[in-house]
């Protein structure tokens, strides 16, 4: 058969159906071949993608046989271990780890092999080619063949060295923080965003007695630490305000009173700081003693300011009393002389008597001012306060009245004090009168004495006091009491809460106590009564018989020569008149220089007595007396003054041997005192006998 170009060759021995089947088979082969090629292409692409992923991921991928030898790994494994591919291929795990870590890896492989369960993220330390160590986080699974038989292990390894180092650093910092906080001198609390307490240090527990079980969160803490509902709401409002608007790192100090687990209350300085994490760190410092000390210091500063004010008022009062006493002496003297000259009953006599009564009341006021300003003359005696109080018993009952119960608590072994008995009697009577007026419906007045030892540590609230031995005198009533505002001013002159009162009673008490070297304090609350406590220095001296009185009478006339020196002309003329009327020869001078001139001009006349004011311009009375004694041996001196002077007193106490007459005085008083001084040498032996 001829084969023609372009013509399809026909097999004459195959049927048409056979040829059709063959064509179908060929088509199927072509399709299958194309599918296989597509699968191979996709498989190759998948392998390339898989290989690309393995080669480009940071984590290391590896496959090992059952003996632990590398069969496959990516570049990350090479970087982790520091070996090349050729060096790593077939390397066993024991070659790049120590014995301990090799054992850990073996145990992990063994468990995966036995259970078929993967091992998730366990730490494994490897040794790099250069000898350095790295920490890996490894996960492994079991590899099996097509028959399901184990043939090795595959795993993912991540280099977590930096993370572990950071974790160790954080852990170390936390341990350091915990160590510091546990040894910190203040309490510390870590609070999360929801207000839960995450951590309390040991000082917090020491401060309050609470641990995390007691106060797991802020709500519980507020309820326990601030049981008073109103105060708790105030504290919570402050905390919420601080938490809401505080900036990171900003400190918010707050001082609150907090109740502890044992029921005690402390004053705490809370300092809260917002952290960058949104948490809060709160420090707690106990400032109870500090606040008490500050309060005591403020109280002491107030006391010092009050003392300074009292000193200033005292100096003013003393100066006023001095000038006023001169005027009162003149008024009283001429008033009494005028009365003596009235022979017949007349309305003028009544007028003069009223004037003299007014001058007597004014004299009492000046005496009180002098007592307050500590310018009066004291004549102290060593005595037992208990005896003095017992002698006052009848007078106290008359002063208090029947509706006030008088109670005594007198220490039987009471020490002695050196005081002017008349002045201390006035102190007790004034305080008793005040107590009576504070108990208009009746009540109790308790008078107490005791020995007190005051040490440095016990004087933190009374810094002006000096440590030592004292006798304490206390008068306590259960009357209406005083407000703190009133207590601040009660010792000031002319301050009074009464409708009719001079306001000099307690200022007189204050002045007498201070001039006696003592201290006085008041303790009072409205509706709870008042206590005055007086502390007088205790002495170890023989007791004086202070109750003795000189009952001898003296003539009020004489013929001796007296030199009167007084810078107030009206007062000087009054004294000269009183003495001349009683037979004395009198010279007068307005000052010391004039007195010396007179003594020089009359050398023939012996001066028996110098009667001089203490305080005068240019030359004091004491200086004048010393000058005159150089010319007149045996010269006697009588000082007169409206207030004290250091020339004749020492700390308000009259110098021994000095004769003194306090202004204001009446004619009889000065005449009697002049006669007493002139006759002193003659009278003393009689008194001793």
pLDDT at 55: 64
Asked if residue 7 has pLDDT above 60, the reply is no
User: Rounded CA gap, 288 and 271, in Å?
Assistant: 15
pLDDT at 477: 93
Which of 238-242, 371-375, 503-507 bottoms out in mean pLDDT, i.e. has the lowest? 371-375
State the DSSP string of 190-250. EE-TTSBEEEE-HHHHHHHS--TTT-SBHHHHHHHH--SHHHHHHHHHHHHHHHHHPPBT-
Which of 27-31, 93-97, 527-531, 670-674 bottoms out in mean pLDDT, i.e. has the lowest? 27-31
pLDDT at 688: 38
What pLDDT band is residue 314 in, cutting at 50, 70 and 90? low
Mean pLDDT of 147-154: 92
Asked if residue 316 has pLDDT above 80, the reply is no
User: Rounded CA gap, 331 and 318, in Å?
Assistant: 20
What pLDDT band is residue 311 in, cutting at 50, 70 and 90? low
In 3D space, the residue among 522, 514, 512 whose CA is nearest the CA of residue 434 turns out to be 522
State the DSSP string of 394-447. HHHHHHH-TTEEEEEEE-TTPPEEEE-HHHHHHHHHHHHHHHHHH-TT-EEEEE
Which of 6-10, 283-287, 355-359, 609-613 bottoms out in mean pLDDT, i.e. has the lowest? 6-10
Distance, CA of 189 to chain centre: 26
User: Rounded CA gap, 152 and 145, in Å?
Assistant: 9
Which H or E element spans position 272? strand 265-274
Model pLDDT for residues 581-597, shown as the tens digit of each residue? 889 999 999 999 999 99
User: Rounded CA gap, 126 and 554, in Å?
Assistant: 123
Encoded tokens for 269: 């300085």
Higher pLDDT among residues 303 and 644, named by residue:
303
pLDDT at 650: 47
Model pLDDT for residues 330-349, shown as the tens digit of each residue? 777 777 677 767 767 777 77
User: Rounded CA gap, 41 and 58, in Å?
Assistant: 27
What pLDDT band is residue 549 in, cutting at 50, 70 and 90? very low
Sheet holding 265-274, edge to edge: 197-200, 187-191, 280-286, 265-274, 251-259
Q: Which CA distances in Å does 428 have to 323, 395, 476?
A: 29, 11, 12
User: Rounded CA gap, 122 and 543, in Å?
Assistant: 96
Asked if residue 685 has pLDDT above 60, the reply is no
Model pLDDT for residues 83-140, shown as the tens digit of each residue? 998 999 999 988 999 999 989 889 999 999 999 999 988 888 899 999 999 988 999 9
Higher pLDDT among residues 18 and 437, named by residue:
437
Asked if residue 225 has pLDDT above 70, the reply is yes
β partners of residue 406: 445
Mean pLDDT of 384-413: 88
Please state, for a pLDDT cut of 90, what percent of the chain lies above it.
19
pLDDT at 689: 35
Which of 135-149, 199-213, 316-330, 382-396 bottoms out in mean pLDDT, i.e. has the lowest? 316-330
3-state secondary structure (DSSP) of residue 185: coil
Which of 59-73, 234-248, 467-481, 565-579 bottoms out in mean pLDDT, i.e. has the lowest? 234-248
To 5 degrees, how large is the angle CA 414–CA 549–CA 369?
75
Asked if residue 489 has pLDDT above 60, the reply is yes
DSSP state of 655: P
Mean pLDDT of 307-313: 61
Mean pLDDT of 256-274: 89
Distance, CA of 178 to chain centre: 31
3-state secondary structure 525-566: ECCCEEEEEEEEEEECCCCCCCCCCCCCCCCCCCCCEEEEEC
Asked if residue 501 has pLDDT above 60, the reply is no
pLDDT at 89: 92
User: Rounded CA gap, 172 and 2, in Å?
Assistant: 100
Mean pLDDT of 147-175: 86
What pLDDT band is residue 686 in, cutting at 50, 70 and 90? very low
Cis-peptide into 664, omega within 30 deg: yes
Model pLDDT for residues 233-243, shown as the tens digit of each residue? 988 888 888 77
The rounded mean pLDDT for the chain is 80
Asked if residue 9 has pLDDT above 90, the reply is no
What pLDDT band is residue 309 in, cutting at 50, 70 and 90? low
Model pLDDT for residues 289-299, shown as the tens digit of each residue? 888 777 777 77
Q: Residue for token digits 């009359």? A: 602
């Amino acid at each position: 058969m001829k084969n023609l170009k372009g013509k399809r060759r026909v097999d004459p021995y195959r049927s048409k159906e056979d040829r059709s089947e063959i064509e179908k088979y060929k088509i199927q082969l072509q399709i299958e071949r194309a599918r296989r090629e597509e699968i191979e292409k996709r498989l190759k692409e998948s392998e390339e993608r898989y290989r690309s992923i393995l080669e480009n991921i940071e984590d290391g991928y590896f496959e090992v046989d059952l003996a632990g030898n590398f069969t496959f790994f990516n570049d990350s494994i090479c970087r982790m271990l520091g070996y090349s591919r050729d060096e790593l291929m077939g390397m066993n795990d024991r070659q790049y780890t120590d014995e301990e870590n090799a054992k850990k890896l073996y145990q992990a492989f063994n468990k995966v092999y036995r259970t078929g369960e993967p091992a998730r993220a366990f730490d494994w330390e490897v040794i790099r080619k250069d000898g350095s160590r790295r920490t890996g986080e490894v996960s492994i699974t079991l590899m099996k063949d097509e028959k399901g038989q184990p043939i090795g292990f595959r795993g993912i390894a991540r280099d977590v060295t930096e993370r572990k180092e950071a974790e160790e650093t954080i852990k170390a910092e936390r341990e350091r923080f915990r160590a510091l906080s546990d040894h910190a001198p203040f309490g510390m609390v870590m609070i999360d965003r929801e207000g839960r307490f995450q951590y309390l240090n040991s000082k917090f527990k020491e401060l309050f007695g609470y641990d995390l079980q007691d106060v797991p969160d802020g709500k519980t803490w507020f309820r326990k630490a601030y049981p008073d509902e109103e105060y708790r709401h105030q504290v919570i409002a402050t905390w919420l305000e601080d938490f809401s608007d505080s900036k990171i790192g900003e400190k918010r100090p707050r001082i609150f009173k907090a109740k502890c687990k044992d029921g005690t209350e402390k004053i705490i300085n809370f300092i809260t700081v917002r952290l960058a994490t949104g948490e809060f760190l709160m420090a707690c410092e106990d400032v109870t003693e500090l606040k008490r000390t500050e309060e005591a210091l403020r109280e002491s500063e107030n006391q010092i300011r009050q003392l300074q004010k009292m000193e200033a008022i005292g100096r003013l009062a003393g100066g006023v009393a001095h000038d006023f006493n001169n005027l009162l002496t003149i008024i009283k003297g001429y008033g009494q002389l005028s009365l003596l000259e009235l022979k017949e009953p007349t309305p003028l006599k009544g007028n003069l008597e009223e004037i003299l009564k007014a001058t007597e009341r004014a004299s009492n006021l000046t005496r009180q001012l002098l007592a307050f300003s500590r310018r009066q003359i004291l004549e102290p005696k060593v005595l037992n306060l208990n005896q003095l109080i017992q002698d006052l018993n009848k007078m106290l009952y008359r002063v208090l009245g029947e509706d006030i119960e008088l109670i005594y608590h007198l220490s039987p072994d009471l020490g002695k004090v050196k005081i002017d008995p008349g002045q201390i009697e006035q102190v007790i009577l004034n305080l008793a009168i005040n107590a009576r007026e504070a108990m208009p419906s009746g009540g109790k007045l308790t008078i107490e004495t005791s020995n007190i030892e005051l040490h440095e540590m016990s004087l933190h609230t009374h810094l002006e006091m000096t440590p030592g031995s004292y006798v304490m005198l206390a008068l306590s009533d259960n009357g209406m009491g005083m407000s703190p505002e009133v207590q601040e001013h009660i010792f000031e002159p002319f301050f009074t809460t009464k409708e009719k009162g001079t306001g000099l009673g307690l200022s007189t008490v204050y002045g007498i106590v201070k001039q006696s070297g003592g201290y006085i304090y008041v303790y009072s609350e409205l509706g709870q009564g008042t206590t005055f406590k007086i502390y007088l220095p205790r002495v170890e001296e023989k007791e004086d018989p202070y109750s003795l009185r000189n009952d001898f009478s003296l003539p009020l006339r004489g013929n001796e020569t007296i030199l009167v020196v007084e810078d107030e002309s009206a007062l000087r003329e009054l004294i000269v008149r009183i003495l001349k009327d009683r037979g004395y020869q009198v010279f007068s001078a307005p000052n010391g220089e004039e007195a010396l001139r007179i003594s020089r001009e009359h050398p023939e006349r012996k001066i028996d007595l110098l009667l001089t004011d203490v305080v005068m311009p240019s030359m004091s009375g004491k200086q004048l007396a010393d000058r005159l004694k150089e010319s007149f041996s045996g010269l006697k001196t009588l000082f007169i003054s409206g207030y004290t002077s250091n020339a004749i007193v020492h700390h308000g106490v009259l110098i021994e041997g000095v004769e003194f007459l306090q202004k204001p005085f009446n004619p009889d008083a000065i005449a009697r005192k002049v006669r007493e001084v002139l006759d002193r040498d003659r009278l003393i032996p009689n008194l001793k006998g």
